[in-house]
Amino acid sequence: MTYDAIDQLKRDLDDLRHELHILGIDSATMKQKLDAIEKDITIISMSALPKLVTMERFTPVEKVVYGMVGLILMSFLGAILTLVVNRT
């Protein structure tokens, strides 16, 4: 199971709202600040998350790319070695 930071922030914000309500701190200023934080979290989740790639999706691509780069480099070194050996 993957850790979702945005969902954790939303849960923490809800817990904070609940705790402030229990303590009797229901001022308009505090409500505005919490609403602004909630709005920022929503904006972040809509704008940043679709651009992110999870490690589960990245790992196979990384292995394929590194393997192909290694194969190309080894082929290049083999070709240079063949040229050097044939010249002598």
Report pLDDT digits (tens) over 25-82. Answer: 878 888 888 889 889 888 887 776 666 777 888 899 999 999 999 999 999 999 999 9
Claim to verify: residue 45 and residue 25 sit in the same structural domain:
yes
Claim to verify: residue 11 and residue 40 sit in the same structural domain:
yes
Claim to verify: residue 46 and residue 70 sit in the same structural domain:
no
**Residue-number span of the structural domain to which 17 is assigned:** 1-52
Claim to verify: residue 77 and residue 41 sit in the same structural domain:
no
Claim to verify: residue 21 and residue 8 sit in the same structural domain:
yes
Claim to verify: residue 45 and residue 58 sit in the same structural domain:
no
Claim to verify: residue 39 and residue 63 sit in the same structural domain:
no
In angstroms, rounded to a whole number, what is the distance separating the alpha carbons of residues 11 and 28? 21
Nearest Cα neighbor of 5 from 45, 37, 40 is: 45
Instruction: Name the pTM for this structure.
Output: 0.49
Output the six-digit token pair for 42: 């929503």
The DSSP secondary-structure symbol of 24 reads T
In angstroms, rounded to a whole number, what is the distance separating the alpha carbons of residues 43 and 27? 24
